[in-house]
Amino acid sequence: MQNTQHRQQVLLNILEKENLFGQEDIIKKLREKGVDATQATLSRDLKALGVVKIPGEGYKRQRPIGAETASAGINGGLRSLEFSGNMAVIKTDAGLASALAVKIDHRPMKPIMGTIAGDDTVLLIIRNGFAQKDVTRALEAVFPNIGNLVVK
């Protein structure tokens, strides 16, 4: 969504320039920039962007956005892709699953109905009539090296 991308970019700009120690402070700064966000939305954004609270430093981005990281393949946080029936599981480095799921959900992929993300696992629900190779091919449009990670 355009709003999500804009909000997250404003959030990153704020965190690069200021040391903020509480989510209420971050929400206040977002509002000053014309961006409204609830605490729940902010928490999801922080997780998706790899922002963590560091003692004495405040909220800082620990790693690149999951989509950027994932495009690098094996070394970028993707660990494996495994299929079972009409589902598949992508294993990632800790904290990247949500960002990867967002990237998949925001790009139309016929074989994939939707995703559910945890911390390091993304569950893909596959539409009836699509084979594993169809799903892998669709995912390779976003994550070029994911075909090399399929567990057989």
Q: Distance between terminal CA atoms of the chain?
A: 35
CA 121, 52, 4, 143 torsion: positive or negative?
Answer: negative
pLDDT value at residue 74:
37
> In the chain, which residue ranges form alpha helices assigned H by DSSP?
2-17, 23-32, 39-49, 66-70, 97-105, 132-140
pLDDT value at residue 5:
82
Phi, psi for 29 (deg, rounded to 5)? -65, -40
pLDDT value at residue 76:
59
pLDDT value at residue 21:
93
Q: Which CATH number fits domain 2-61: 1.20.1640.10, 1.10.540.10, 1.10.10.10, 1.20.1250.20?
A: 1.10.10.10
pLDDT value at residue 62:
67
Contact yes or no for 152/131 (Cβ under 8 A): no
- The verdict on pTM exceeding 0.85 is no
Q: How many beta carbons lie within 10 A of that of residue 10, not counting itself?
A: 17
Residue range(s) occupied by CATH 1.10.10.10 in the chain: 2-61
Does domain 67-143 sit in CATH 3.30.1360.40? yes
Point out the residues of the chain with pLDDT beneath 50. Answer: 1-2, 64-75
